[in-house]
Structure 1
Amino acid sequence: MVNTKTSYVFVFLEIFAGEGGIQSYVKDIWRAYLALPDSELAQVFLLRDKPIGDNPFESKNLKFHYFKSLHPMLGRMKLSASLLACLWRQRPAHVFCGHINLAPLVRTICQRFDIPYTILTYGKEVWEPLPQPYQRALRCAAGIWTISRYSSSRLCYSNGIDRQQVKLLPCCVDGDAFTPGPKPPALVERYDLEGAKVLMTVARLWSGDIYKGVDVTIRALSAIAKVFPNVKYLVIGRGDDRPRLAQLAQDLGVGDRVIFAGFVPTEDLVEHYRVADAYIMPSQEGFGIVYLEAMACGVPVLSGDADGSADPLQDGRLGWRVPHRDPEAVAAACIEILKGDDQRCDSQWLRQESLAHFGRDALVQQLKELLAKTRTEGLEKSKVKSQKSKENRG
């Protein structure tokens, strides 16, 4: 039987037009939603996306609406009008606002119809104090979902949000796509890695994203090479910061150890993880999906010690966490990893433990529980409001 009544509405900035952690995370949420045995009809509004002919998520329970325009304000006006019409006609049970930049708009429209809404947050976009319209939208929300304990803490501290209002919906990894395997000979040859101990990072190389720690790892290479003379560093990603990083490697005398691979499509990443002996990203992440991908491939990982990576690394139980701007700490941890004596280097154990908490099945269960809680809380609030209305009339 085909659903005709809209139960949920999702509103996002852009998912198909860009690449990045948020886009991957949202797609995982859609997969999890469609995997629910009792998923209901949901409408998805995408402000900056245009229609795509092969949308794999379009189905009887997910209907997509696109509002990309040459004039951004026009697109926003069209989305507002369509969202207003949808809420007026369908009266969905709940609206999910997929980015803080859309929160004031969603709050205004939802309050007109007394429909509860939840705001999805991810990382840095809510770590600092926000303008008052955005803080009001957060405080008026029925709930806030975020990806890690660290992001929750930063969000609440910076914007005066009650911690009880925030629920966790962590990232996940596809354990069928990311699997262990031998080093691919073709990649070993392509990057001249024969006999090398390979450190690897997957990151955008943007000048605004130096927190990813690629420069810190480059600074750590000389110390690592004293213990492992055959160490090399494979950097996957593109961006305007690459020339600075390449020059830094040359200036430090490690230019021959750093390989910039450029952009690698998602479908080819697993082969690149397999070529690595360690995944190194001393960063400041809201969560860090790449750590899950590496661990699912059985590759030991290193992260920063003051960010959302605490969740995928399970507070250091599954990997090394070090001060994110400290080359000496990065070097010492890399040397430990490359020696391979720690349980956190056990490929099979690492994969098993990471998937148990952050595999796709885990996300389906977590989403199911959150939606059930959202529905229950919404019904309770409606009963309270109805009772107050009766008392006022009495």
Structure 2
Amino acid sequence: MLKTSYRKINDLAVNKIEAASHVFVFLEIFAREGGIQSYVKDVFRSYTDKNEAIRAEVFLLRDAANCVNKFESANLRFRYFKTNWPQLDRIRMAAALFLHLLLHRPKHVYCGHVNLASLIGIFCNFLGIPYTVMTHGKEVWQPLPALTVKSLQKATSIWTVSHYTRDQIVNGASKLDARKIKILPCAVNNNYFTPGEKSTALVERYGLKDARVLMTVARLWSGDRYKGVDITIQALPEIAKVFPDVKYLVIGRGDDQPRLASLAADCGVEERVVFAGFVANEELVEHYRLADAYVMPSQEGFGIVYLEAMACGVPVVAGDADGSADPLQNGRLGWRVPHRDVKAVAIACIEILKGDDHRCNGEWLREQVVSHFGIDAFSARLRKQF
């Protein structure tokens, strides 16, 4: 009888731990690199610092089991569903997810992308499990399918990275309750992205000796022209009138590079534009340190690259009608210019290269960024959400 009672108590304890657990569902985290992936990794990093009794299961639709994952731990377990059959992968993940939710009834489900919101909404609403949908930028700036909107409306909360994206969601066709939306801005790994001397080897590799260096880190895909690399190229002739030694280092790869190279030739600045190609994350900090200004007059949901540059003490130029208002603190930390305005980009770059503005003070810039967007600040915000 004692053994039976003990077994029942133990079962209740186990069930309580299971009920207190979380479930995360993402499209892909390790198969590619990008702002969303970086954001999610910061969530994982902060999550593993939490109480070990709180466990989570992570479902990854497009990541395979052989991916490099440094976040696997006793309280953060991953399930991978990528094979050579994408449609079958979705069915397999949906079945495994529903079974897990049915059997374990987690405390909360976190949906990592709006494209998964309808699936999560159907399951969680049927089972009575609260859920949160994470949003980032362009994926929620336009009208969404009716079922997705319904899932967002029924979500317990919605996370987003910037005030701009929040406003786009609230003022769009989704008709969402603004009180449900929690702003959890991106973070920068301030222990990795730090100021430092320019690497002599990289200066020689890219031919940047004695040059004033503008830099952009972006995908060079034809669908991502909004990043503004072409606008910066067109601004170079005007900048060069004031700073004849200026060069533009473009980090990234994609099918739009031939067009950009041709544009540089047409503008007479092909010798000033250096296409570095793909640079791995572990090499990025040395590249940021080459820059005298980070330039990306884009339309971003947030723009983690701005944080990375500023954490390295590099002043930045961003667009003025997007989520970059948050990392730039509405212009307090950097220059915001009209999207696709060549003249405005040229003026901002010239001001930065002159170095008279307090926003060019690398030490002050880093202090501000770490204070608002460092790992500790991010973890503190995240703890309030769980």
TM range (shorter): over 0.9
Cα distance between partner residues in 1 of 2:348 and 2:51: 44
AA matched with 2:128: D
Query: Following the alignment from structure 1 to structure 2, what is the Cα–Cα distance between the partners of residues 51 and 4?
Result: 26
Provide the residue aligned with 2:210 in structure 1.
195
Query: Conserved in 1, the CA contact under 8 Å of 2:333 and 2:359?
Result: yes
Q: Quote the residue 1:296 is aligned against.
A: 311
Per the alignment, residue 197 of structure 2 pairs with: 182
Tell me what 1:221 maps to: 236
Residue 252 of structure 1 corresponds to which residue in structure 2? 267
Q: Which amino acid aligns with 1:89?
A: L
Q: Which residue of 2 aligns with 1:72?
A: 86
State the Cα distance separating 1:4 from its structure 2 match.
5.4
Structure 1 residue 310 corresponds to structure 2 residue 363: no
How many Å separate the matches in 1 of 2:255 and 2:114? 26
Partner SS, residue 264 of structure 2:
helix
**1:173-227: per-residue Cα shift (whole Å, max 9, x none)?**
0111011011111111111111110000000000000000000000100000000
Per-residue displacement from partner, 1:349-377 (whole Å, max 9, x unpaired)? 00000010000001110000011xxxxxx
| Residue range with higher mean Cα deviation, 245-254 or 69-78 | 69-78
Paired position in structure 2 for 1:375: none
Q: Offset at 1:271? A: 0.5
1:276 has 2:291 as partner: yes
Q: 1:39 Cα shift?
A: 6.2
State yes or no: 1:33 paired with 2:33. no
Gaps of 5+ in 1: 372-394
Aligned position for 2:108 = 94
* Equivalent residue pairs, number: 371
Mark the CA change 1:45 to 1:153 in structure 2 (over 3 Å): closer, same or farther: same
Structure 2: distance between partners of 1:212 and 1:286:
12
Alignment of 1:94-243 (within 5 A): 94-158=108-172, 159-243=174-258
- Is the 1:36–1:364 Cα contact (8 Å) retained in structure 2? no
Counting aligned pairs with the same residue, the percent is 62
SS, match of residue 340 in structure 2: coil
Q: Please, which moves more after superposition, 35-44 or 163-172?
A: 35-44
1:285-320 CA-to-partner distances (Å, cap 9, x unmatched) read 000000000000000001000010000000100000
Task: String of CA shifts for 1:29-53, please: whole Å, max 9, x gaps.
Answer: 1001112246610110001111136
Q: Aligned residue for 1:338?
A: 353
Instruction: In structure 1, give the amino acid aligned to 2:138.
Output: K
Provide the C-alpha distance between the structure 1 equivalents of 2:123 and 2:331, rounded to a whole number of angstroms. Answer: 43
**Corresponding residue number in structure 2 for 1:382:** none
Over residues 232-273 of structure 1, what are the superposed CA-to-partner deviations in whole Å (9 max), with x where a residue is unaligned?
A: 000000000000000000001011100000000001010011
Q: Deviations over 1:48-96 (max 9, x none)?
A: 1111365211111101111112222211111111111111111111111
How large is the Cα RMSD of the aligned pairs? 1.4
TM-score, length of structure 1 as denominator length? 0.92
Q: Is the 8 A contact 1:281 1:303 kept in 2?
A: yes
- Give the letter for the 1:279 counterpart: Y
Match of 2:57 among 38, 43, 47: 43
Letter of the 1:181 partner, please give it: G
Cα distance in 1 between the residues matched to 2:189 and 2:263? 35
Moved over 3 A (4+): 1-4
Tell whether the 8 Å contact from 1:49 to 1:68 is kept in structure 2 after alignment. Answer: yes
1:112 CA displacement: 1.6
Residue 98 of structure 1 and its aligned partner are, at CA, apart by 0.7
Question: How far, CA to CA, are the matches of 2:87 and 2:274 in structure 1?
Answer: 42
Q: Say whether 1:357 aligns with 2:372.
A: yes
Q: Does the Cα contact within 8 Å between 2:31 and 2:67 map onto a contact in 1? A: no
Change (3 A) 1:342 1:53: closer
Cα deviation for residue 324 of structure 1 reads 1.5
1:383 is matched with which residue? none
Mapped partners of 2:53, 2:380: distance in 1: 12
Question: SS of the counterpart of 1:351?
Answer: helix
Which whole-Å CA distance do the structure 1 matches of 2:46 and 2:262 have between them?
43
**1:5 and 2:13 matched:** no
TM-score, normalising length from structure 2?
0.94
